Structure formats: structure tokens, C-alpha cells
Amino acid sequence: MTSLNSVPLTLMVNGQAHDLELPVQATLLDVLRERLHLTGTKKGCDHGQCGACTVLMDGETHLSCLTLALSAQGHEIRTIEGLGGPDGELHPMQAAFIEHDAFQCGYCTPGQILSAVACVEGGHAQNDAELRDFMSGNLCRCAAYPQIFEAVKSMAGERQ
Amino acid sequence: MTVQKGQPQNYVGQRVNRVDGPDKVRGAATYAAEFDLPELAHAVLVSATIPHGSIKSIDETAARAVPGVLDILTHESEGIELKPVKAYPRGPAGTSVLPLQSPKIEFRGQPVALVVAESLEAAQHAAQLLEIEYDASDFRATLEQGMNGLPLLDKVPMPPLGHSRGDVGKGMKDASTTFEATYDTPVHHHNPLEMHAVTAAWDGDERVTIYEPTQWMQSSQYTLAAMLGLEPDNVHVISPFVGGGFGSKATTWPHLPTAVLAARKLGRPVKLVLSRAQMFAAVGYRAATTSAYTVGLDDNAQFTAMTLDAQTQTGVSDLFPEQVGNVPKMLYANPNMELKQTLIRTHAGPNIMMRAPGEASGGFGLEVLMDELAEKAGLDPLEFRRRNHAPENEDPESGKPYSSKHLLECYDRAADAFGWDGRTPEIGSMRDGNTLIGWGMATATYPVYASAATARARLCASGHVEIEAGSHDIGTGTYSILAGIAADSLGMDIEQIKVKLGDSRLPKNGYSGGSRTASSVGSAVLAAAMGLREELLEAATHDSNSPLHGVAGQDIKVRDGGLYFGDTDQGETYTAILGRMGKDQHEVYRETIPHEGSQKQLDQLKAGKDGSVAAVAERYARHSWGAVFVEVRIDPDFMTPRVSRIVGAFDIGQVINAKTAESQLTGGMVWGVGMALHEETQTDDRTGLILNSNLAEYHIPVNADIGSVQAIALDHPDFRVSALGARGAGEIGIVGTAAAVANAIYHATGKRVRETPITLDKLL
Amino acid sequence: MRPFEYARAQSVAEAVGRPGKFLAGGTTLMDLMKLDVERPAHLTDITPLRENGELSQIVEDGGGVKIGALASMSQTAEHPLIAERYPALSQALLAGASQQIRNMASMGGNVMQRTRCPYFRDLAFKECNKRDPGSGCGAIGGHHRKMAILGGSDACIATHASDASVALVAYGAALTLRGPDGERRVKLEDFNLLPGETPHIEHDLREGELIVALTLPAPIAADGVYLKVRDRESYEFALSSCAAVLDVQEGKVNAAHVTLGGVGTRPWRSPEAEAALVGQPATRETFEAAARAALQHAHPLAQNAFKVPLTARVIVRALMQAAGQIDEAGNPTTGANA
């Protein structure tokens, strides 16, 4: 039996396979940040209460802080680093966030953007109340909520 | 704006996207805990679980047995002595309580151990296995316990915070109506979304580099130097991005030296990130306050007198006053005023400034009081405030003229945009079907703090200009603001300006708090960029090979990255000038003394202190102004107050970047909503411990709590405050907003709640 | 977090009988493991049973619906069978967690959700009978604004946190539990246990048993309402909630299911309220009588006394809404004649 301190696993992140040996209790968030140095995924509470650690798992928003890394095996994980185009061009939602000044300190921003993408792509911005409710799983202490709302709404409008 | 008189401003005053935006939306902005250093060890802090007493024993056996554990630091460890420091405002530290120096516990959450391991997981696991026994002592954990409990800690009257003018006794006698009321605000925690963190890496025994999210690099630099006996220049602080601060990151806290000590002891870099629960422990808080008012009004509903007796919470060792009297003592015309403040020591730990410290908490009481008085006088709340407006030429506190005051215009603009005319005064008279609607308003003000500042502008052979300032962007837009100022000064595209912040080796600057960075550091950047322009102009006009040789300086305009004679093509680029100067770069360094300041502020800045001029300066009293109007919608069955609409108009001097300034103002107003409806740190009376030290139960607004928020910035540059005419936008938005919400709730329901947060149970 | 022996089950057969805890969405378990409240020595990861479909299907089942225990909250809320036939469940799921958590959390895990009581969640508090039997209850003499007013004991007044369970109980949901000795079914309202003297025993779940499915009988009525009142507009636990399913025939209540959330030590089915409704005219007066009946045995303390009047209003509004008399904002619906 392998040591609980170094369990082997393979994670697929942004289309790339990473072979790792991890403590059994490592979370996906800590693996992304501390071992893969994909620090765009943020730690704001480590308890599923702020949304800063949001990633896409098989296209769905998940909280990486409450995801055991071992459980993430076999899933396609997409982080903010994998959202833009291959040559670094911004995803339209990223551009909308800049245009609407939908962030200040920027720390919650990657999580906000991934949720915003899921919001629009999943058709959860049918009306203002639905959009705001969907985006309520991502706290913004700088309180850029009015600007986040406008950014997401502008993209939902584009889509229609 | 004075950057270039007679030339168009491409950036200053305009809506300019953040220059750091692309990095932030890509997740490429590097925050303090994201620097990958070789041999990095991970640390986890262990916090006291009693508010007062001492450590009886620590059993490290199980913790040390966890594979990968490198060391455990406690007060029993050898070689981790720290020298005493002074706490802010006398020194730059957040507290004088030194970590791990004794078994004594004087506040809940006080750091008691640091576990360091090869991996974060091992450190976290070992920290859970550390067995600490305490001898618990009696405690006072809350303002209420401190005020009402048996004497345990002394109460500290604060005469320097008092204010007295006129004859209050006579004023009360002259009053036709008197009124008394007391207003309470609870403990708040800053909770920036990025947790406090530090990565410490030593180079030998005398030099250390600190990666830390901070609003005041010099605080970390000078505090650590003092604690460790190092030369300040040998403490290098790096802080390029700060994931929110709101005051908690404006000074240093006990966790900082623990990580630094561990790194020195282990001889390898150590990273420590606090947990969210620890963000409620030893990184400050907004103290609870209680403000007891007595006021007198004459027949014309004008003040004849006001007394304010305030009691505010603080820690055991350090006395930081939450200055609730700041706003009441000056906002309205009133000849007779008496303000007293007493600090109540508690075992809740050291408190510190939090977004509009004193103004937010004090403004709540004063502006709810104003609503109550308006009702008693039978006046519209706005009319009542106009009637007690203090004239532009006389600050009620100091008697000095204001540098610039357009509060009446704020009232007009915000009321107009809000549609205040449509308000019907009767309680509960505005409905949307079953839903109750209430409209309330409040006045806002925030003082001007201006600091000495320094900056460097450097033209590079590539044609870029680098702007260097040892300042901070905590989400306030500093990168973008400084880039805009430099771009306009030099007639360049903003993309050609590279702003460098967040490094203590850059030109020194003060702390980014008190809404001062844009105007203070902006002034230094303006001076440096204009200096660079002058020197390049000088070089060109004196160079016979330049197309501008001999042209008079005043005829030369900057544009397209160069200097040109009027609107003609006669001229050249900066790089052409630089090339002929035979240099691959040319730099200019400038120091600026704030308006109404002196060399003293600059000397203080250079000594690692807060080199700023007080709001009431030699010639002028300097304040920003605002008016906030709020609509609440309340389900009459459940009494759930929701803020559907806010309009605020603010007189903040020159707006440097209209986009980021608006975000600051709307962000502040949303904080006001949180203060009014949500935020409260709850303490268990029997243990003295915090009950809601997490983001699920410490409520801040979520997206769905916030409706339409509109910020209107008046455009009145105040050149009596800074060369830019700017005053500051970061804090004024929260001031008054909570009261406007409370007043709107009263208008809807008839329930007068004199404390925050106003939760539904207080309205049922 | 403490380390544990980790196993990954590829089938239900592989999973049942294993010691320790099952890991599904992880939204409760991982959280509590980080807090050191949960310390499983063995963890069996059953997420493969979600991906391979063994435990994540939502299908018709007789006149009702069977929900695989690992169906996510999002998947369940949005499934046409649920959204159309069990609207109160769909609403409770959507109101029950952030969208990210809804994607992760499983239906089986949702009924296993633990309380938010701070004295339970924070080890710094020594008094918690649920976490440490016999240690006392910090909440009763301490801070209890959010604690339960129904179903508490001298040992524990911790509120059950789930929204979805409230609607599930209202729809008469049962759990299918598979253990080493085979399968059994337990009604959800019986599965959650009252604290009594043993608040640490929360469920009728035996060692090694796995929740494999939730079954819902055919609803008694097409209309159902989940009404939730909370301190924030979203991403927030209930102060009081009500799932109401009402069958009104010719102005009279023919059948009623009323379950309360945010106020009970378990999802609080109110047979008293249901009895006060059945056979009575569907009027505000009847609904108010039902609310009084539901709360007649409420035991509030000083800080949570507000939950009594609040819950009465929540019940009345939910019933009026379920009867089609008012809309969500409390305005009369067109043609409503209560």
C-alpha cells in the first residue's frame, strides 16, 4: 500500500495531464495553487463560502476547495488560465469584466468570471433576478456587484 | 486639471479601463502567497482558544510525528526573541503584542504556535494535533461586557479626542426642543477576500525579503526591522497586488514575525497564509461603539447644542480609538458642542481602522439622529439638513474656511437623480402592491489626509516610460490612475506607461489608507513625469541637432510620445532625444510635500512613519462631501429589508479616472448596505470567542442583495488640497449610507432601529 | 485535515459495507474534515457511481420518481420530472445552495447535511453534545438566534440546515438504503432523528449502509411552494421556510403536506398543521389556524422567539401561494378570491 503522504494520481488541467504524488487529503485547490502553480484559482475561505476557488469540472462550476484532488481524477478541469485563447486572447467575458470595471482588487475575479461564463452559457441570465442569484455564489468584498451584473448582462445580451 | 493647461486630457478625468485588468482577469496577477520560491516550506498558525489567561502546557509529540513536519515554534522555542515595538499611530505596527514571546494570552485568537512542514497538508494536519492546555482567566470580550461588567480592565477617557465649543448648557436652555438617543454599532471585520499571508526568505542573517499583501510596505519594513534589530533597508517588502485591504492590511500583525522567525530558524523560505477564521483573530477589526446624543433645536429647527458621549471598544495593550466624533463635531452648523469619548478595553484583541474608521460608525448615529429630528420638526429630511448646513467659509469645528465645499450641490444632484420629490412623508405610504417601499437619505463627509510622496519617472530606449512608486494598488486603481497621470503629462499612450508599485525599494510612500493614495502619490508622479518632460524639453531645445532647437518651451506641446512645436509636425519623439543624449534611459525623481505641509511630513515619510497633514490644516479645513439616497423594499409579512436602489452624489475634487472612482464610490455604498443590514461579528458571552468567524455566517452582501447603485461625482477640482485637485474616493461612499438605509426602513415601516445590523427580527 | 485510508468504489456492491464515510459531493464532509469535526479513518469515494450513472439517474417510478442518490442538486432541480411535478423541491434546491455547490452536492448527501450550529462547527467551543456527547450545549445558554424552536431537547437545539430535505419530506420521500445485509426503505421524515438525549445520532443509518436512491410518491397536488426567509437574499441558510403542497377541490382543502425548515432540529413535518387544513375551506383563516397548530409546541428561547411569529407568517404565505391565491410577493393573483 502506498503511503498516505504520497498517493499517485493524474489530473487533467486545461487539457494537460499532470502526474502527481500527493498527500491523500490534498484538495484540488491546494494542488492547483501549491503544486501546479496555477495560482489564478484563489483561496478566499477554504470552506465553500466565497466562490473564489471556482473552477470548471467537465464544464460545470465546482468549488476546488471542497474537492478532494483524488476525486478530481478522470475529470477535465479548466481554470482561469485555460479560459482565454491559445495565443492569450481574452475570452469575451474577460473582456467584458475589464470594460465594465467588474473588479477592483481582482482576487475574486477568476472565480467570478468562470461563474459568469457558466451563467451565460447555461442560460441562467434570463432575467436580472436570476442572473444576480446565480452570481451570488461568488463574494466580492470590494463590492463590484453592480459592475459584475452589467458585465454578465452585456454578455447575456450578446448571446440572445 | 493642471497636467497640461490648454491641452486635451486623454486620460485624467476620463473613463479609462484598468491597466492591470488583463492580468487580473487572466488570473496572472501575482498576489503575495503566489510567489514560488525554491525550498519553500509551509506554515500554519495556531491561535489561542481563550480570550485571557496563559498557556499551561503544549504537547508537541503527536504534531512532530507527522511526516514532513520541520519545526514548531511556541513561546518555549529558543532563538526567537523579538524586540518591543510601538503600535500605530505612534509606530507603524498594528499591535505591540509580540507573538510567541510569553505564555500570556490577552486576546482570543492570539497566535500561540507556528507549525512548519514540507507541505501545506502536513502543516495543517500537525496543527490539528498540537495539544495546548490553558489556564483561563476572567475576561471582558465585548464592549457591553467592558462597560457593564465588574472592573477588570480600566476605561480610558480620551481627552485628545474630545471637542468642546461654545456653551452647551446655554445652548440647551435656549432650545425649544431637546432630544436624546443612543446609537450602537457592532464589531466588524474587514475580511478582504485575499487572506493575510507572508512569504519570508532570508539572505544570510541580516537581510530578509517579505512577500506580503500590504497597504503599507513601510509598516512591515520598519516594524520587522525594529523587532529583529535589522537595518530597515535590509528588509525588502514585495507586494505588487493586494487582494483587498480596507484597513486590516494597513499595518502589521503578529503573524508576520512568526513566519520570518521560522524562515530564519529553518534556513529556508517559509510561507504562511492565515485561515479565514484567523482573519477574525489577530488582524484588527472595527470596534463596537455606542454614541449617546443630547441635542437642542430652536423654533427654526436649527441646532442650539449637541453633546455626544461615546464609548468605543479597544484591545488590552494598544489603544486605537474608533473616532465616532469625527463627523458629528463638524458636519452641521451648531455653535455649542461637547464631545467625549472613552475607550473600553476588552480581550477582543487590537482594533484598527476599517474603511472610514469613525466616520462610518459615527455617521450612522448622527444621520439617523438627523432623520429623527427632521421628523420631530415636521420637516423633510433633506430640508432639515439644508437648514443646518454649515457654510463653506466656516468649519464648525475649527472656524476655518473649507478648501472647497459643494455639499448643497450634492444634495441637489442626488435628490434629482433619485426623484426625491416624489416621496410622500407618511410612514408606509409608498407601496408596490404588498411590498412596502421606503426612501431615506443621509449626508456623507470624509476628511482629506494628504501625505508626502515620492516617485520616479524613467524614459527607456524602447520608448516606454516607467513610473516607480513604493505605493500600493489594493483594488483602488493606483496602477491605472498613475499611468493616466503620466500619460497625460508626457503626451503618451497609456500602454506606453509601465507603473511599478509594491516594492519597498521603489521611492518611498506612505500607507494606502484614508483615501489618500491617488492624490498624494499622484502628485509625486505628476511632478516626476512633468520633471522628465522638462528635462527632455531642455535637452531638445538646447541641442542644435534637434528640430526644436531654440524653440521657446511654452510653444512646445507633448503628443504622440514626443515634443512638437504647436500643432505642427516640427518636433521629435522622446526616444530620438534620448538617443542623441547618448543614453539608454533618463530618469527623474521627485519628492512632493502635501499642500499645507512642510519638510516635516517628508522627513517622517522617510523615517517610515505616516507623514500626512491633518484634515484641519493651517489655512483650510479639508473634507469631501456627499449625499446618499436609498430605496428599500420590504415584505410586510417577513420584514426582510432589501435595498433596491441607491443614488449618491459626491464632491471629491478632481476625478482622475472616472471609471475606477465610480467603482470606489459604488463599492463604498454597497459596504454601507452591508453595514446597515448584514455585518456583525458575534461573540459568545460565556467563552469570549467569536461565533461567526467565517464567510457563511459573517454576512457581507451577495450579488442578489444589491440592486441599482448610481454614483455621481461632481467635478470641482480642489487645488487647495493637492496639485491634482483630487481629494479621494475610497471611503466616503460608506459614510452615511447605512443611516440612509435605516432611515428608509423607518419610512417604510415606522420602526426606528438605532443599531446595526437591521435584521428582520428587529423589525417584526 | 487528517489523512485517511482512501478507496474509490466503482460500483455500489464495492461500496456498501465499507467502514468510515462515503465521499460524494464533499460539500459537507470536506468542510467538516477541515474543521476537524469529522475525522474519518476511512473514506470511500463514491463519485465514480455518479459518473457511471449507477446512482445518478432520475427516472419515473410507478406514479412517482426515483432519484439516484448521487444525482446533483442542479441536475435534480432542473430535471423536467422534478421541475414540473415537484416544483417545491425544485425551488428548495435552487434556494438551498450556491450554483457551484448545487453542481457538487448530491441528493443523498443533502439529506445527510449537518447543522450550522457554531458550537458544533468550532472545536474551540467545548460544549456540544452532538460533537462530544455529555459535554453540554453551548447554544441553549449562549447565542441561539438561529437555533431550532421545534424538536429541541435539553441536550441540543441545533437547526437542521437542509432546504431540499424540507421539500422532500413534504412530498413524502423515502430513502433506499443498501447495506451488507441487503436493502431497506425508510421514510425521510423517520430517517432524521430527534436529538433527545442522543443528539450525536442524527440518522437511521447503519454502519456500511449507503443511500442509493430517494423515491418520491406521486404528488398529492400539482402545485407546491417552497418559501424561504433569510438574512441575505441568496447564498444563505433559512431563518424559516415552509414547503407546502396543497390539493384544493372546490374551495376546500382535500389534502395537505406542510413541512418547515430553519426552525426544527430536523426537517419539520407538521401533522398538526395538515390536520387543521384538511376538510377546511382554503381561506386565510384556515391557514392561520394551521400555522397556530404547527407552532403550538414551539419552544423558543430569548433570541429565537422571533421565529414563532415569522414562521406563522411563512406558513400562511406559503399556503396562500400554494392555493394560488397570491404570488411570491404576496399580491393577490388575478381572479383569486380567498
Is residue C101, in this structure, part of any structural domain at all? no
| Strands A76-78, A54-57: pairing kind | antiparallel
Give pLDDT, residue B624: 98
**Cα–Cα distances in angstroms (integers) from residue B659 to residues A101, A155, B448, B713, B729, in the given order:** 7, 19, 21, 11, 12
Instruction: Give the three-state DSSP class for A107.
Output: coil
- Nearest Cα of chain C lies from the Cα of A154 at a distance, in angstroms, of 20
Give the residue carrying C-alpha cell 490644516: B617
Q: How confident is the model at residue C338 (pLDDT cuts 50, 70, 90)?
A: very low
pLDDT at B154: 87
Query: Any idea what the CATH number is for the domain that residue C310 is in?
Result: 3.30.390.50
Contacts of B585 (CB under 8 A, 6+ apart): B458, B459, B460, B461, B578
Q: Which of B620, B619, B632, B714 is nearest to B665 (CA)?
A: B714
Query: Do C27 and A137 count as a contact with CB atoms less than 8 A apart?
Result: no
Q: In angstroms, rounded to a whole number, what is the distance separating the alpha carbons of residues B607 and B309? A: 36
DSSP annotation string for C55-83: T--EEEETTEEEEETT-BHHHHHH-HHHH
pLDDT tens, residue by residue, B682-741:
999 999 999 999 999 999 999 999 999 999 999 899 999 999 999 999 999 999 999 999
CA distance B310 to B344: 10
Q: Which whole number is the average pLDDT over C152-157?
A: 98
- Position B635: which residue type? D
What 8-state DSSP symbol labels residue B86?
A: P
Q: Is C155 exposed, middle or buried (0-12, 13-18, 19+ CB in 10 A)?
A: buried
Cell 494598544 locates to B318
For residue B426, the tally of other CB atoms under 10 A from its CB is: 9
**pLDDT > 70 in chain B, percent:** 99
User: Under 8 Å CB-to-CB from B2, ≥6 apart: which residues?
Assistant: B719, B723, B724, B725
Q: Residue B88: which of B675, B655, B737, B610 has the closest Cα? A: B610
Tell me, what's the pLDDT at B89?
A: 85
Which stretch of DSSP H or E encloses residue B201? strand B197-203
Bridge partners, C76 (sequence order): none
Those chains having 3 or more beta-carbon pairs within 8 angstroms of chain A are B, C
Closest alpha carbon to B586 in B536, B538, B528? B536
pLDDT above 50 (res A1): no
Instruction: Give the confidence band of B407 by pLDDT, cuts at 50, 70, 90.
Output: very high
pLDDT above 90: residue B386: yes
End-to-end CA distance of chain C: 56
Element holding C174 (H helix, E strand): strand C174-179
pTM comes to: 0.98
User: Does C6 reach chain A within 8 Å, measured CB to CB?
Assistant: yes
Report the alpha-carbon distance of residue B706 to residue B668 in Å, rounded: 12
**What sign for the dihedral angle of Cα C168, C169, C172, C178?**
positive
What is the spatial distance between Cα B386 and Cα B168, in angstroms, rounded to a whole number?
A: 22
User: What one-letter code names the amino acid at C182?
Assistant: G
What is the rounded (10 degree) CA torsion for C170, C174, C175, C179? 150
Which among A113, A89, A88, A87 is positioned nearest to A100, based on CA atoms?
Answer: A113
CA pseudo-torsion sign B511, B516, B517, B522: negative
Q: How far apart are the first and last CA of chain A?
A: 54
Is the pLDDT assigned to residue A155 strictly greater than 70? yes
Q: Count how many Cα atoms sit within 13 Å of the Cα of residue C246 in the half-sphere of its side chain.
A: 36
Closest to B451 (Cα-Cα) out of B605, B603, B661: B605
Would you say residue C234 lies in a domain?
A: yes
Burial letters B183-215, b for 16+ CB under 10 A, else e? bbbbbbbbbbbbbbbbbbbbeeeeebbbbbbbb
- Interface confidence (ipTM) of the complex: 0.98
Work out how many domains chain C is built from and give that number: 1
The span from the CA of B108 to the CA of B215, in Å, is 25
- Give the separation between CA C223 and CA C248, rounded to whole angstroms: 10
**How many CB atoms are located within 10 Å of the residue B650 CB?**
32
A45–B694 CB contact, under 8 Å: yes
Closest CA in chain C for residue B673: C232
pLDDT-derived band at B1 (thresholds 50, 70, 90) equals: very low
What mean pLDDT is predicted for residues C262-276? 98
User: What value does the mean pLDDT take over residues B487-497?
Assistant: 97
**Across B6-10, B294-298, B753-757, C244-248, least confident range:** B6-10
CB contact under 8 A, C124 and B689: yes
pLDDT band at B6 (very low <50, low <70, confident <90, very high): very low
Check residue B4 and give its pLDDT: 46
Is residue C74 a part of any domain in this protein? no
C316 found inside a domain: yes
Q: Which domain holds residue C312?
A: 225-322
Which carries the bigger pLDDT value, residue B387 or residue B318? B387
CA A135 to CA A139: how far, in whole Å?
9
Q: Which three cell numbers stand for residue A72?
A: 478530481
Residue C142 C-alpha, separation from nearest chain B C-alpha, in angstroms: 6
Q: What is the pLDDT of residue B8?
A: 54
Find the mean pLDDT for residues B347-374: 97
**In-domain check, residue C280:** yes
pLDDT of residue C335: 59
C56's grid cell? 445518478
Structure confidence at residue A160 (pLDDT): 60
Q: Would you say the C-alpha torsion B228, B230, B234, B238 has a positive or negative sign?
A: positive
Give the confidence band of B519 by pLDDT, cuts at 50, 70, 90. very high
Q: Is the CB of residue B67 less than 8 Å from the CB of residue B122?
A: yes
CA distance B266 to B176: 72
C-alpha cell at A94: 474577460
- Per-residue pLDDT tens digits for B283-323: 999 999 999 999 999 999 999 999 999 999 999 999 999 99
Alpha carbon distance B664, A143 (integer Å): 9
Contact indicator for A96, A102 with CB cutoff of 8 Å:
yes
Q: How far, in Å, CA of B56 to CA of B133, rounded?
A: 5
Instruction: Please give the residue of chain A at the shortest CA–CA distance from B125.
Output: A25
Summarised one tens digit per residue, pLDDT across range B148-165 is 876 788 889 998 899 999
A118–C26 C-beta distance less than 8 A:
no
A 87-146 residues with CB < 8 A to B = 88, 90, 94-95, 97-99, 101, 103-110, 113, 129, 132-133, 135-146
Specify if C169 maps to a domain: no
- The chain C residue lying nearest A111, using CA atoms, is C100
Q: By three-state DSSP, how is residue A145 classified?
A: helix
Question: Which of B433, B637, B686 is opposite residue C142, by nearest beta carbon?
Answer: B686
Backbone angles phi, psi at A83, to 5 degrees: -85, -40
Count the helices and strands in chain A (H runs, E runs). 5, 5
Residue-wise pLDDT for B556-575, tens only, equals 999 999 999 999 999 999 99
Contact present, A102 and A151 (Cβ < 8 Å)? yes
Q: What are phi and psi of B404, to 5 degrees?
A: -175, 130
Cell 479548466 belongs to: A78
Q: Do B26 and A81 touch (CB under 8 A)?
A: yes
C 151-210 near A (Cβ less than 8 A): none
Please give the pLDDT value at position B5: 45
What's the confidence (pLDDT) of residue B151?
76
Question: Which chains share 3+ C-beta pairs under 8 angstroms with C?
Answer: A, B
DSSP three-state, residue B642: strand
| A vs C: CB pairs below 8 A | 89
Q: Is B731 a catalytic residue?
A: yes
Instruction: Output the average pLDDT for chain B.
Output: 96
Say how far apart CA C72 and CA C321 lie, in whole Å: 27
Is there a domain that residue C266 lies in? yes
Q: Which residues contact C98 (CB under 8 A, 6 or more apart)?
A: A51, A136, A137, A138, C234, C235
- Backbone φ and ψ of C207, nearest 5°: -50, 130
Tell me the C-alpha distance between B622 and B516, whole Å.
12
Interface of C with A in 290-319 (CB under 8 A): none
Mean residue pLDDT across chain C: 97
State how far residue A129 is from chain C, nearest Cα, in angstroms: 10
pLDDT cut 90: percent of chain B above it: 96
User: Of B146, B188, B162, B160, whose CA–CA distance to B51 is shortest?
Assistant: B146
Range B15-25 average pLDDT: 98
Q: Is residue C192 one of the residues assigned to a domain?
A: no
Whether the pLDDT of residue B356 is over 90: the answer is yes
The one-letter code for the residue type at B361 is: S
| Contact (CB, 8 A) for B742 and B622 | no
DSSP per-residue letters across B27-51: T-S-BGGG---TT-EEEEEEE-SSS
